[in-house]
Amino acid sequence: MPAKDQAPVTIPDFSRWKTERRKISVLTAYDFTMARLLDASGVDCLLVGDSLGMVVQGRSTTLGVTLDQMVYHAEMVARAATRAFVVADLPFGTYHASVEQAITSAARFLKETQCQAVKLEGGLRTAPLIRSLVEADIPVMAHVGLTPQSVRRLGGFKVQRDGDAILDDARAVADAGAFAVVLECMPSEVAARVTAEIPIATIGIGAGPDCDGQVLVTPDMLGLFEGFRPRFVRRYAELVEPIRKAAQEYVADVQAGRFPNANESFR
């Protein structure tokens, strides 16, 4: 189904798809070239995740990512999307201080980029912020379960197993007006219960098959990292070897004087 034959995805589509049990596909994107490919492939939603701190910037957590960096990447991704809905992460330290800080940070994505919504982490404790953002006409995707920005408090990236607490968090963000919620790293039974009990779309990552949609970090699903293989990532490609091979051939060709040839040169 070519993307150009389809209308751009909007917020009402998320609740309609939940009602129709039509699963929602989400992938992360950080630059124009990849976002254009993913959009043309029919992905419903592109998430400019602060995971870019780890998969683009090479950090061990997402904590060092700045708002300026997120806006820079969000702008490139949103420029590429013709159909996919584009959501950008509010990075650590840019929304917890006050409602004013959250609105000022989030508004940058809607004013300076073509993103349609922001994502922020946290359940009960961030629900008041979500309500204020939605009242300020800034659509919010929430994120509960394993919230990577809480890595220091949680003591690592661990599966979250307190089903009652996760359900309370998911209910709180739905009541506050979030249009969808990411459920990260929890037992499938917990995600299934949350999905059945809240009215907004759930987007799972490491949360089993019963969520209304799924999200993966694109470099993970494309197999761009050799060592990193979490259980919940399915690799749809193995790109390390082809890229290494191409680069090695290029180096050999340059060193041997085989590149460029006459057809690749101007006369």
- CA nearest neighbour of 38 among 213, 214, 218: 218
Q: If binding is defined by CB under 6 A, does position 35 make contact with ligand KIV?
A: no
With a CB cutoff of 8 Å and minimum separation 6, the contacts of 59 are: 53, 65
Dihedrals phi, psi of 143, to nearest 5 degrees: -155, 115
| 184 included as an active-site residue | yes
Q: Which is nearer to ligand KIV, 144 or 217 (CB)?
A: 217
Q: Which is nearer to ligand KIV, 13 or 121 (CB)?
A: 121
Q: Of residues 70, 109, 215, 223, which one binds ligand KIV by CB under 6 A?
A: 215
Q: Choose the binding region for ligand KIV from 15-23, 48-56, 127-135, 192-200 (rule: CB under 6 A).
A: 48-56
Helices (H), the chain: 11-20, 32-40, 52-55, 67-80, 99-112, 127-135, 151-154, 163-175, 188-197, 218-221, 240-256
Instruction: Tell me the C-alpha distance between 76 and 30, whole Å.
Output: 7
Dihedrals phi, psi of 34, to nearest 5 degrees: -70, -40
Q: Of residues 123, 217, 219, 223, which one binds ligand KIV by CB under 6 A?
A: 217
Q: Of residues 13, 39, 89, 220, which one binds ligand KIV by CB under 6 A?
A: 89
Instruction: Give the count of beta carbons closer than 10 Å to the beta carbon of residue 208.
Output: 17
Interface size with ligand KIV, residues (CB under 6 A): 11
Q: If binding is defined by CB under 6 A, does position 182 make contact with ligand KIV?
A: yes
Q: Of residues 13, 28, 43, 193, which one binds ligand KIV by CB under 6 A?
A: 28
Q: Of residues 49, 91, 122, 219, which one binds ligand KIV by CB under 6 A?
A: 49
Active site residues: 184
Binding site for ligand KIV (CB under 6 A): 28, 47, 49-51, 89, 143, 182, 205, 215, 217
